[in-house]
Amino acid sequence: MSRRAPGRRPATQKTGTPKNGHQQLRIIAGEWRGRKLSFPAIEGLRPTPDRVRETLFNWISAHIPGAKCLDLFTGSGALGLEALSRGAGQTTMVDLSGVATGQLQNNLQTLKATNATVVQADVQQWLSQQTDSLQYDLVFMDPPFRKELAASCCEKLEMQGLLAPRAMIYVETESELSVLQVPDNWHLHREKHAGQVTYRLYIREAAGA
């Protein structure tokens, strides 16, 4: 999810005053392999590191082709763009920062990607407003650390009916959050630590399965 540096997450969701200049992210594999894209140098905003992204996409590679993806707190769009490059059917990217979402729109135009939707919105409010919407096969989530947003967003994903029966949900949190509260029908599939970050992959079981 495009991501913020651990321990430097501001109080709001991926907002901030951009500094001069831009940073770059590199798409690892797929149609746009090796492409470098700019994203705004907002304080604390950094993509998920290449090594972590590579591990994640190794975990989910068989599930990407044709998948409907949702990238929450998308920031630079690193995870959503990587999914599109590897054959995702469509991706919805949501972030509060108008600067970040504006640059993401520009990057999608540069890539000539027509199967992505960028939404500038507060993630929790956006989730609460989704009814009769798409059911997503893959969800990426990297909320600002230490704001108690992850568990709330997980609950909203389930309650709003936004997940396909066997959806996979990837969540990045601060490493000291040893237990993440998720819906009872989500099962932890993989978990790893990288520095001050813990990243987890859940598989959802449909109710009554």
Write out pLDDT tens, residues 112-138. 999 999 999 999 999 999 987 789 999
Ranges 2-6, 58-62, 100-104, 131-135: which has the least confidence:
2-6
**Segments forming the whole domain that contains residue 34:** 18-204
Does 181 map to a domain?
yes
Does 6 map to a domain?
no
State percent of the chain over pLDDT 90.
67
Please tell me the distance from the alpha carbon of residue 39 to that of residue 31, in angstroms, as a whole number: 20
Does 8 map to a domain?
no
Ranges 15-24, 90-99, 113-122: which has the least confidence:
15-24
Does 11 map to a domain?
no
Does 10 map to a domain?
no
Please tell me the distance from the alpha carbon of residue 148 to that of residue 101, in angstroms, as a whole number: 23
Please give the helix or strand (H or E) that residue 130 lies within, else none: none
Residue 19: per-residue pLDDT: 45
pTM for this entry: 0.86
- Exposure string over 152-178, b if 16+ CB within 10 A, otherwise e: bbbebbbebebbbeebbbbbbbbeebe
Query: Is 75 within 8 Å of 47 (Cβ atoms)?
Result: yes
Q: How many CA atoms lie within 13 A of 193 on its CB side?
A: 7
Q: For residue 43, what pLDDT band results from cuts at 50, 70 and 90? A: low
What separation, in Å, do the N-terminal and C-terminal C-alpha atoms of the chain show?
30
In angstroms, the Cα distances linking 159 to 18, 128, 198, 207 are 35, 9, 25, 12
Does 198 map to a domain?
yes
The enclosing domain of 162 has a CATH number of 3.40.50.150
Q: Looking at the 3D structure of the chain, how many domains does it have?
A: 1
Does 161 map to a domain?
yes
Amino acid in position 5? A
Residue 30: per-residue pLDDT: 95
Does 189 map to a domain?
yes
Residues paired with 71 in a beta bridge: 93, 140
pLDDT value at 150 more than 70: yes
